[in-house]
Amino acid sequence: MSNPFTLRTSTRTWTPIYKADADVDTGGADLMTFHDTALVKPTGDGYVGTDGSNLAKVIVWGSANSGEILTHLASYTRIGHGSYSGHEHTADGIWVPSFICTLQWTFGTLNGIASNFPDNVTYFAKNVELIDGDTSIRLITDTGASGIASVTVDLEGAECFAIGFDDTGVTNPETANAAVGLF
């Protein structure tokens, strides 16, 4: 008798969190502080919908083959969409950010490819360290000069995932970006 169930993991595709590499020095949209975020649906750069995924894998790159950058990871879920406890809501509800962690990434010498995104003047992070937050995340680090560090996060039912950059206390590249693979 054959097993009627097959466990499969879908192919992971990478989605850049910013359409173009973010200018870290200027702050603005690329420097996200989650406690100041309005409780409306997150849109634009820095956010990606989770589309029913369970996990998010994150990699980071920047415009220098040395230095560090901090990232703040958060997830968003909704309160009050649909009907509950006798209250009928037709709006999108309130989007609640949930801090996941702060990570420090160290850049290596592995770079992108000319005429592609990321290109040959951007360098992938080779190491990642948990600074604050959820210790259940999975770090792949100490990859050497020719490896890419990554972090895997349990989305815990979130509808949206966010990454913000922070240059506080680190020697950062001028621009940085991240990619998220959902599965």
The burial class, CB within 10 Å (0-12 / 13-18 / 19+), for 151 is: buried
Average pLDDT, rounded, for the chain: 81
Does the pLDDT value for residue 74 go beyond 80? yes
Residue 88's pLDDT band (cuts 50, 70, 90): low
Report how far residue 161's alpha carbon sits from residue 65's, in angstroms, rounded to the nearest whole number: 27
Task: Please give the share of the chain, as a percent, with pLDDT higher than 70.
Answer: 78
pLDDT at 39: 76
Mean pLDDT of 20-49: 66
Does the pLDDT value for residue 36 go beyond 80? no
Q: Is 28 helix (H, G, I), strand (E, B) or coil?
A: helix
